[in-house]
Amino acid sequence: MKGPTLSCFILAFAVLFSPVATGQSYFELGAMAGDMPYNGDLSDPGIKFLNDWNTFGGVYLRYRPVNRIGLRLNGVFGNIAAERTTSVDSGNGQRVDISRNFRSKIREYSLAAEFDLFYLGDPDDRFVAPYVMAGIGRTTFNPEGEVDGVYYELQPLKTEGQGILTGQYDPAPYELSITTYHLGGGVRAKLGERFVIGGEVSGRITNTDYLDDVTGRRLVYQDVLQNTTTRGAFFSNPALDPAEAPADFSYVRGGASDDFYFLINLTLGIRLGGWGNGGSGCYSF
């Protein structure tokens, strides 16, 4: 967490005291849309996680105090989902194939700082500018699993023994609202007097492994079964029969790495107006 946060402060410092920062300040209101790839325990391995297309939309308000620098408020609204089939021990020494799935709404509100690397064209008129960005946000999610066409919220089912006070399990269900850290870059192009189009790719550091309700924690099936409902035990390990599962049978559902999600998006904005350095001090369209 310290790395992205420090980067934000360094970028803000560079913004305020950059000797090359000149130009007219203005606000820009825009919309964004694109793909929200998820990378976690239920995504395909390697870069194949990009095969799952998860759409999103959003709005932003960008403030450009000077050339090279932008500050942006974002609201992002989308969904992530995945399904994965794996071979697991059924409890009697045989392996069976099981399928796990999830879906989750993503609601993200964030603040980002941008720094333009260089300009093709006039930065006070028409131009193309690649940029880098760093930000911080608050994200809400709520994973659901599907059986026979019906979706169930997974966090209340305590599929990984949450609440069992033995030290092996989380003492409480995981939070559904998290702080995320953002890094990425993109390209903006100012077309004419008012309109700005762009494209951006950015990643979210979530510091949680629960976007999909699946982690690398080792579980004892009977502990989970006694701590939740039969439905919760099913989502935890659908390969086992509650009536026949060995008393000490343990298993791991996923890997140890945190989950991530990304934004690959296009933007369209309209400049609202400006003041200072020649600006009129009033908004105009």
| φ and ψ of 8, to 5 deg | -60, -45
Contact call for residues 277 and 25 (beta carbons, < 8 A): yes
Asked, for residue 94, whether it belongs to a domain, the answer is no
Query: Which CATH number covers residue 117?
Result: 2.40.160.20
Q: Sorting pLDDT into bands at 50, 70 and 90, what band is 44?
A: confident
CA nearest to 31, candidates 96, 80, 75, 79: 75
Which residues form the domain of 16?
A: 2-82+102-157+173-213+258-283
pLDDT score at 123: 87
pLDDT score at 23: 58
| Residue 174: DSSP 8-state | P
Q: Please provide the average confidence, as pLDDT, over all residues in the chain.
A: 88
Asked, for residue 221, whether it belongs to a domain, the answer is no
Asked, for residue 200, whether it belongs to a domain, the answer is yes
Between 32 and 24, where is the model more confident? Answer: 32
Asked, for residue 241, whether it belongs to a domain, the answer is no
For residue 6, what are the contacts with CB-CB under 8 A and spacing of at least 6? none
Judged by DSSP in three states, 205 sits in: strand
pLDDT score at 91: 81
Q: For a pLDDT cut of 70, what percent of the chain falls above it? A: 87
pLDDT score at 45: 86
Number of domains the chain is built from: 1
Asked, for residue 269, whether it belongs to a domain, the answer is yes
Least confident of 15-24, 50-59, 175-184, 243-252: 15-24
pLDDT score at 22: 47
Between 9 and 43, where is the model more confident? Answer: 43
Asked, for residue 165, whether it belongs to a domain, the answer is no
For 104-146, how does the pLDDT look when each residue is reduced to its tens digit (9 = 90+)? Answer: 999 999 999 999 999 999 988 899 999 999 999 999 999 999 9
Residue 282 has pLDDT above 80, yes or no: no
Asked, for residue 236, whether it belongs to a domain, the answer is no
Strand 95-116 with 69-89, pairing? antiparallel
For 69-113, how does the pLDDT look when each residue is reduced to its tens digit (9 = 90+)? Answer: 999 999 999 999 999 999 998 888 789 999 999 999 999 999 999
For 228-273, how does the pLDDT look when each residue is reduced to its tens digit (9 = 90+)? Answer: 999 999 999 999 999 888 989 999 999 999 999 999 999 999 999 6
Between 185 and 17, where is the model more confident? Answer: 185
Residue 30 has pLDDT above 70, yes or no: yes
| Residue 248: DSSP 8-state | T
Asked, for residue 75, whether it belongs to a domain, the answer is yes
Q: Where are the beta strands (DSSP E) in 38-154?
A: 38-39, 55-66, 69-89, 95-116, 120-121, 127-140, 144-147, 150-153
